[in-house]
Amino acid sequence: MVDSIAAPLLRMSGITKHYGGVRALENADFDANRGTIHALLGENGAGKSTLIKVLSGVVQPDTGTISLDGTPIEFANPTEANNAGIACIFQELSLLPDLSVADNIGIGSPPGPFGLINYRAQRRLAEELLARVGGDGIHPSATVRELPLSRRQIVEIAKALARNPKLLILDEATSALTAADVEKVFTLLHKLREDGLAIIYISHRMHEIAELADMCTVFRNGRKVETFRAGTKSDNAIVEMMIGREYKSVFPPKTEKSPSLLPFSRFATFPGKTS
Ligand SMILES: Nc1ncnc2c1ncn2[C@@H]1O[C@H](COP(=O)(O)OP(=O)(O)OP(=O)(O)O)[C@@H](O)[C@H]1O
Protein backbone atom coordinates (compact mmCIF):
# COMPACT_ATOMS: atom_id res chain seq x y z
CA MET A 1 0.00 0.00 0.00
CA VAL A 2 1.27 3.46 -0.84
CA ASP A 3 0.96 5.56 2.31
CA SER A 4 -0.71 8.80 1.43
CA ILE A 5 -0.69 11.88 3.61
CA ALA A 6 -2.21 13.85 0.75
CA ALA A 7 -5.96 14.28 0.39
CA PRO A 8 -7.71 11.06 -0.63
CA LEU A 9 -8.26 10.49 -4.33
CA LEU A 10 -11.95 9.92 -3.69
CA ARG A 11 -14.07 11.53 -1.01
CA MET A 12 -17.77 10.77 -0.70
CA SER A 13 -19.52 12.73 2.05
CA GLY A 14 -23.03 12.60 3.42
CA ILE A 15 -24.43 10.48 0.60
CA THR A 16 -28.11 9.64 0.98
CA LYS A 17 -30.06 7.62 -1.57
CA HIS A 18 -33.64 6.37 -1.47
CA TYR A 19 -35.29 4.04 -3.95
CA GLY A 20 -38.91 5.08 -3.53
CA GLY A 21 -39.57 4.41 0.15
CA VAL A 22 -36.45 2.25 0.61
CA ARG A 23 -33.46 3.97 2.19
CA ALA A 24 -30.36 2.45 0.59
CA LEU A 25 -27.79 4.97 1.88
CA GLU A 26 -28.09 7.36 4.81
CA ASN A 27 -25.51 10.11 5.23
CA ALA A 28 -22.76 7.74 4.12
CA ASP A 29 -19.09 8.72 3.94
CA PHE A 30 -16.35 6.90 2.10
CA ASP A 31 -12.75 7.77 1.12
CA ALA A 32 -10.36 5.87 -1.14
CA ASN A 33 -6.65 6.51 -1.64
CA ARG A 34 -4.25 6.04 -4.51
CA GLY A 35 -2.16 2.88 -4.43
CA THR A 36 -4.58 1.21 -2.05
CA ILE A 37 -6.97 -1.74 -2.32
CA HIS A 38 -10.00 -0.89 -0.25
CA ALA A 39 -12.57 -3.58 0.56
CA LEU A 40 -16.21 -2.67 1.07
CA LEU A 41 -17.88 -5.04 3.53
CA GLY A 42 -21.44 -5.46 4.68
CA GLU A 43 -24.38 -7.82 4.74
CA ASN A 44 -26.78 -8.11 1.82
CA GLY A 45 -28.66 -4.84 1.53
CA ALA A 46 -26.08 -2.81 3.51
CA GLY A 47 -25.77 -0.33 0.66
CA LYS A 48 -22.45 -1.31 -0.93
CA SER A 49 -23.74 -1.63 -4.49
CA THR A 50 -25.73 1.57 -4.19
CA LEU A 51 -22.58 3.42 -3.11
CA ILE A 52 -20.80 2.05 -6.18
CA LYS A 53 -23.75 2.94 -8.41
CA VAL A 54 -23.66 6.50 -7.12
CA LEU A 55 -19.93 6.63 -7.70
CA SER A 56 -20.15 5.25 -11.21
CA GLY A 57 -23.04 7.45 -12.36
CA VAL A 58 -25.61 4.63 -12.57
CA VAL A 59 -27.83 6.40 -10.02
CA GLN A 60 -27.74 9.91 -8.62
CA PRO A 61 -27.69 10.58 -4.86
CA ASP A 62 -30.49 12.53 -3.15
CA THR A 63 -27.93 14.48 -1.13
CA GLY A 64 -24.20 14.45 -0.52
CA THR A 65 -21.00 15.41 -2.30
CA ILE A 66 -18.29 13.54 -4.17
CA SER A 67 -14.83 14.80 -5.01
CA LEU A 68 -12.13 13.19 -7.12
CA ASP A 69 -8.61 14.54 -6.85
CA GLY A 70 -10.04 17.42 -4.82
CA THR A 71 -12.48 18.45 -7.56
CA PRO A 72 -16.24 18.21 -6.88
CA ILE A 73 -17.94 15.86 -9.34
CA GLU A 74 -21.48 14.90 -10.28
CA PHE A 75 -22.27 12.20 -12.79
CA ALA A 76 -25.48 12.11 -14.81
CA ASN A 77 -24.57 8.73 -16.31
CA PRO A 78 -21.82 6.05 -16.35
CA THR A 79 -20.09 7.60 -19.37
CA GLU A 80 -19.42 10.79 -17.39
CA ALA A 81 -17.96 8.75 -14.53
CA ASN A 82 -15.83 6.83 -17.00
CA ASN A 83 -14.58 10.03 -18.57
CA ALA A 84 -13.60 11.31 -15.12
CA GLY A 85 -11.41 8.24 -14.52
CA ILE A 86 -13.74 5.82 -12.73
CA ALA A 87 -13.95 2.29 -14.14
CA CYS A 88 -16.30 -0.33 -12.80
CA ILE A 89 -16.28 -4.11 -13.27
CA PHE A 90 -19.28 -6.17 -12.22
CA GLN A 91 -19.88 -9.89 -11.92
CA GLU A 92 -21.78 -9.83 -15.20
CA LEU A 93 -19.10 -8.99 -17.70
CA SER A 94 -19.77 -6.20 -20.15
CA LEU A 95 -17.95 -7.86 -23.06
CA LEU A 96 -19.74 -8.50 -26.33
CA PRO A 97 -19.08 -12.22 -26.95
CA ASP A 98 -19.24 -12.13 -30.75
CA LEU A 99 -16.72 -9.31 -31.10
CA SER A 100 -12.96 -9.73 -30.97
CA VAL A 101 -10.87 -9.02 -27.88
CA ALA A 102 -9.42 -5.89 -29.55
CA ASP A 103 -12.90 -4.62 -30.51
CA ASN A 104 -14.10 -5.07 -26.94
CA ILE A 105 -11.09 -3.36 -25.41
CA GLY A 106 -11.32 -0.44 -27.83
CA ILE A 107 -15.07 -0.06 -27.74
CA GLY A 108 -15.06 2.97 -25.46
CA SER A 109 -12.21 4.74 -27.21
CA PRO A 110 -13.00 7.74 -29.36
CA PRO A 111 -13.04 7.03 -33.13
CA GLY A 112 -10.44 8.48 -35.48
CA PRO A 113 -10.95 11.16 -38.15
CA PHE A 114 -14.34 11.03 -39.95
CA GLY A 115 -15.66 8.76 -37.21
CA LEU A 116 -13.70 5.80 -38.58
CA ILE A 117 -12.24 3.12 -36.36
CA ASN A 118 -8.47 2.86 -36.63
CA TYR A 119 -8.12 -0.91 -36.41
CA ARG A 120 -4.34 -0.82 -36.30
CA ALA A 121 -4.36 1.59 -33.32
CA GLN A 122 -7.10 -0.47 -31.68
CA ARG A 123 -5.04 -3.63 -31.99
CA ARG A 124 -1.94 -1.88 -30.65
CA LEU A 125 -3.92 -0.62 -27.65
CA ALA A 126 -5.26 -4.13 -27.03
CA GLU A 127 -1.76 -5.64 -27.19
CA GLU A 128 -0.38 -3.03 -24.78
CA LEU A 129 -3.19 -3.48 -22.30
CA LEU A 130 -3.19 -7.26 -22.49
CA ALA A 131 0.56 -7.22 -21.79
CA ARG A 132 -0.04 -4.90 -18.82
CA VAL A 133 -2.66 -7.19 -17.28
CA GLY A 134 -0.76 -10.42 -17.89
CA GLY A 135 -2.95 -11.50 -20.79
CA ASP A 136 -0.07 -11.85 -23.25
CA GLY A 137 -1.37 -15.24 -24.34
CA ILE A 138 -4.72 -13.76 -25.40
CA HIS A 139 -4.83 -12.98 -29.10
CA PRO A 140 -6.38 -9.57 -29.86
CA SER A 141 -8.29 -11.00 -32.80
CA ALA A 142 -9.73 -13.94 -30.83
CA THR A 143 -13.50 -13.82 -30.42
CA VAL A 144 -14.43 -13.30 -26.77
CA ARG A 145 -16.83 -16.26 -26.92
CA GLU A 146 -13.85 -18.59 -27.52
CA LEU A 147 -12.13 -17.60 -24.27
CA PRO A 148 -12.53 -19.32 -20.91
CA LEU A 149 -14.14 -17.23 -18.18
CA SER A 150 -10.88 -16.35 -16.43
CA ARG A 151 -9.43 -14.97 -19.70
CA ARG A 152 -12.61 -12.98 -20.29
CA GLN A 153 -12.20 -11.44 -16.84
CA ILE A 154 -8.65 -10.41 -17.77
CA VAL A 155 -9.98 -8.86 -21.01
CA GLU A 156 -12.64 -7.05 -18.96
CA ILE A 157 -9.94 -5.55 -16.76
CA ALA A 158 -7.89 -4.60 -19.84
CA LYS A 159 -11.00 -2.91 -21.23
CA ALA A 160 -11.51 -1.04 -17.95
CA LEU A 161 -7.91 0.20 -18.11
CA ALA A 162 -8.26 1.43 -21.71
CA ARG A 163 -9.46 4.82 -20.49
CA ASN A 164 -6.59 5.05 -18.02
CA PRO A 165 -8.73 5.22 -14.87
CA LYS A 166 -7.61 6.56 -11.50
CA LEU A 167 -10.12 4.43 -9.66
CA LEU A 168 -10.99 0.82 -10.46
CA ILE A 169 -14.02 -0.77 -8.81
CA LEU A 170 -14.67 -4.51 -8.74
CA ASP A 171 -18.17 -5.37 -7.49
CA GLU A 172 -18.35 -9.15 -6.91
CA ALA A 173 -16.27 -9.37 -10.07
CA THR A 174 -14.44 -12.57 -9.12
CA SER A 175 -17.48 -14.52 -7.85
CA ALA A 176 -17.68 -16.76 -10.90
CA LEU A 177 -13.95 -17.54 -11.04
CA THR A 178 -12.15 -20.61 -9.69
CA ALA A 179 -9.69 -20.15 -6.81
CA ALA A 180 -6.74 -20.43 -9.22
CA ASP A 181 -8.19 -17.77 -11.51
CA VAL A 182 -8.96 -15.49 -8.56
CA GLU A 183 -5.27 -15.72 -7.62
CA LYS A 184 -4.32 -14.51 -11.10
CA VAL A 185 -6.67 -11.56 -10.82
CA PHE A 186 -5.25 -10.75 -7.36
CA THR A 187 -1.70 -10.74 -8.71
CA LEU A 188 -2.87 -8.29 -11.34
CA LEU A 189 -4.67 -6.09 -8.80
CA HIS A 190 -1.53 -5.94 -6.66
CA LYS A 191 0.39 -4.80 -9.72
CA LEU A 192 -2.19 -2.12 -10.51
CA ARG A 193 -2.01 -0.96 -6.90
CA GLU A 194 1.74 -0.56 -7.31
CA ASP A 195 0.98 1.53 -10.42
CA GLY A 196 -0.89 3.91 -8.09
CA LEU A 197 -4.49 3.02 -8.88
CA ALA A 198 -7.09 3.26 -6.16
CA ILE A 199 -9.00 -0.02 -6.17
CA ILE A 200 -12.34 -0.66 -4.46
CA TYR A 201 -13.16 -4.32 -4.04
CA ILE A 202 -16.48 -5.86 -3.01
CA SER A 203 -16.66 -9.55 -2.23
CA HIS A 204 -18.51 -11.73 0.24
CA ARG A 205 -15.56 -14.10 0.50
CA MET A 206 -13.76 -13.04 3.66
CA HIS A 207 -10.56 -14.90 2.87
CA GLU A 208 -10.29 -13.01 -0.42
CA ILE A 209 -10.48 -9.72 1.38
CA ALA A 210 -7.91 -10.80 3.94
CA GLU A 211 -5.52 -11.71 1.16
CA LEU A 212 -6.12 -8.71 -1.02
CA ALA A 213 -7.15 -5.59 0.86
CA ASP A 214 -5.10 -2.88 2.54
CA MET A 215 -8.08 -1.05 4.01
CA CYS A 216 -11.61 -2.16 4.87
CA THR A 217 -14.82 -0.20 5.36
CA VAL A 218 -17.88 -1.84 6.86
CA PHE A 219 -21.38 -0.68 5.94
CA ARG A 220 -24.56 -1.50 7.80
CA ASN A 221 -28.08 -0.30 7.04
CA GLY A 222 -26.86 2.24 4.52
CA ARG A 223 -24.29 3.83 6.84
CA LYS A 224 -20.56 3.54 7.24
CA VAL A 225 -19.72 1.78 10.49
CA GLU A 226 -15.92 1.98 10.46
CA THR A 227 -12.82 2.12 8.26
CA PHE A 228 -9.75 0.19 9.42
CA ARG A 229 -6.52 -1.33 8.17
CA ALA A 230 -6.93 -4.93 6.95
CA GLY A 231 -5.61 -7.46 9.44
CA THR A 232 -6.25 -5.31 12.51
CA LYS A 233 -9.66 -6.82 13.42
CA SER A 234 -10.70 -10.39 14.14
CA ASP A 235 -13.29 -12.17 11.99
CA ASN A 236 -15.82 -11.93 14.78
CA ALA A 237 -15.25 -8.21 15.31
CA ILE A 238 -15.85 -7.60 11.61
CA VAL A 239 -18.97 -9.73 11.48
CA GLU A 240 -20.28 -7.95 14.59
CA MET A 241 -19.73 -4.61 12.86
CA MET A 242 -21.65 -5.93 9.88
CA ILE A 243 -24.62 -7.31 11.79
CA GLY A 244 -24.63 -4.82 14.67
CA ARG A 245 -24.73 -7.38 17.46
CA GLU A 246 -22.60 -10.04 19.13
CA TYR A 247 -21.67 -12.91 16.86
CA LYS A 248 -20.71 -16.40 18.00
CA SER A 249 -18.38 -17.92 15.42
CA VAL A 250 -19.52 -21.18 13.86
CA PHE A 251 -15.85 -22.12 13.45
CA PRO A 252 -13.95 -23.98 16.17
CA PRO A 253 -11.50 -21.80 18.10
CA LYS A 254 -8.01 -21.84 16.63
CA THR A 255 -5.43 -23.91 18.47
CA GLU A 256 -1.69 -23.39 18.61
CA LYS A 257 -1.38 -26.36 16.26
CA SER A 258 -3.58 -24.84 13.57
CA PRO A 259 -2.54 -21.26 13.23
CA SER A 260 -4.26 -19.29 10.52
CA LEU A 261 -1.97 -17.37 8.24
CA LEU A 262 -4.81 -15.06 7.40
CA PRO A 263 -6.66 -12.67 9.62
CA PHE A 264 -9.96 -14.19 8.43
CA SER A 265 -11.03 -17.81 8.41
CA ARG A 266 -9.97 -19.34 5.13
CA PHE A 267 -13.35 -20.67 4.12
CA ALA A 268 -15.62 -18.17 5.75
CA THR A 269 -18.13 -16.15 3.82
CA PHE A 270 -20.18 -13.41 5.31
CA PRO A 271 -23.50 -14.29 6.90
CA GLY A 272 -26.46 -14.27 4.59
CA LYS A 273 -24.55 -15.01 1.41
CA THR A 274 -23.00 -18.08 -0.13
CA SER A 275 -20.48 -17.79 -2.89
N1 LIG B 1 -33.40 -0.58 -7.59
C2 LIG B 1 -33.81 -0.70 -6.34
N3 LIG B 1 -35.09 -0.47 -6.01
C4 LIG B 1 -35.50 -0.57 -4.72
N5 LIG B 1 -34.70 -0.88 -3.70
C6 LIG B 1 -33.40 -1.12 -3.97
C7 LIG B 1 -32.89 -1.06 -5.30
N8 LIG B 1 -31.56 -1.36 -5.25
C9 LIG B 1 -31.27 -1.58 -3.97
N10 LIG B 1 -32.37 -1.47 -3.19
C11 LIG B 1 -32.44 -1.61 -1.74
O12 LIG B 1 -31.47 -0.74 -1.19
C13 LIG B 1 -30.84 -1.36 -0.06
C14 LIG B 1 -29.34 -1.39 -0.31
O15 LIG B 1 -29.09 -2.33 -1.36
P16 LIG B 1 -27.67 -2.56 -2.03
O17 LIG B 1 -27.87 -3.44 -3.21
O18 LIG B 1 -27.00 -1.26 -2.23
O19 LIG B 1 -26.92 -3.35 -0.87
P20 LIG B 1 -25.63 -4.28 -0.95
O21 LIG B 1 -24.88 -4.03 0.29
O22 LIG B 1 -24.92 -4.05 -2.23
O23 LIG B 1 -26.24 -5.72 -0.95
P24 LIG B 1 -25.82 -7.02 -1.80
O25 LIG B 1 -24.58 -7.53 -1.18
O26 LIG B 1 -26.98 -7.94 -1.64
O27 LIG B 1 -25.63 -6.58 -3.22
C28 LIG B 1 -31.50 -2.72 0.10
O29 LIG B 1 -32.54 -2.60 1.03
C30 LIG B 1 -32.03 -3.02 -1.27
O31 LIG B 1 -33.16 -3.87 -1.20
- Residue 232: count other Cβ atoms within 10 Å of its Cβ: 10
- Residue 101 CA, ligand 1 centroid: distance in Å: 32
Q: Which residue out of 49, 56, 92, 224 has the highest number of ligand 1 atoms within 8 Å of its CB and is therefore the one to mutate?
A: 49
Please determine, for residue 253, whether its predicted confidence score (pLDDT) is greater than 70.
Answer: no
**Closest ligand 1 atom number to CA of residue 222:** 14
pLDDT value at position 115? Answer: 65
ipTM: 0.96
Task: Say if residues 189 and 134 touch (Cβ distance below 8 Å).
Answer: no
- Residue 39 CA, ligand 1 centroid: distance in Å: 18
Reduce the DSSP state of residue 65 to 3 states and report it.
Answer: strand
pLDDT in tens, 128-155: 999 888 877 899 999 999 998 888 988 9
Q: pLDDT band at 262, cuts 50/70/90?
A: very low
**Closest ligand 1 atom number to CA of residue 51:** 18
Please determine, for residue 69, whether its predicted confidence score (pLDDT) is greater than 90.
Answer: yes
- Residue 267 CA, ligand 1 centroid: distance in Å: 25
**Closest ligand 1 atom number to CA of residue 42:** 21
**Closest ligand 1 atom number to CA of residue 46:** 21
Q: Which structural domains are found in the chain, ordered by start?
A: 1-85+165-275 (3.40.50.300), 95-164 (no CATH)
The residue type at 131: A
- Residue 77 CA, ligand 1 centroid: distance in Å: 19
Comparing 3-7, 14-18, 221-225, which segment has the lowest mean pLDDT?
3-7
What share of the chain has pLDDT > 90, as a percent?
A: 55
pLDDT value at position 120? Answer: 83
Which residue lies with its CA nearest to atom 3 of ligand 1?
A: 19
pLDDT in tens, 149-187: 888 988 998 999 988 899 999 998 888 777 877 888 888
Closest CA to 165 of 110, 90, 89: 89
Q: pLDDT band at 205, cuts 50/70/90?
A: confident
Q: Which residue out of 12, 16, 19, 55 has the highest number of ligand 1 atoms within 8 Å of its CB and is therefore the one to mutate?
A: 19
Which has more confidence, 228 or 181?
A: 228
Closest CA to 109 of 92, 89, 126, 95: 126
**Residues 22-42, mean pLDDT to the nearest whole number:** 96
d(CA 221, CA 241): 11
Q: pLDDT band at 85, cuts 50/70/90?
A: very high
Mean pLDDT taken over the chain: 84
Reduce the DSSP state of residue 90 to 3 states and report it.
Answer: strand
- Residue 180 CA, ligand 1 centroid: distance in Å: 30
d(CA 211, CA 202): 13
- Residue 47 CA, ligand 1 centroid: distance in Å: 6
**Closest ligand 1 atom number to CA of residue 49:** 22
d(CA 41, CA 21): 24
Which residue lies with its CA nearest to atom 4 of ligand 1?
A: 19
d(CA 43, CA 24): 13
List ligand 1's pocket residues with C-beta within 6 A. 19, 22, 24, 42, 44-50
pLDDT value at position 207? Answer: 81
Strand 36-41 relative to strand 198-202, pairing = parallel
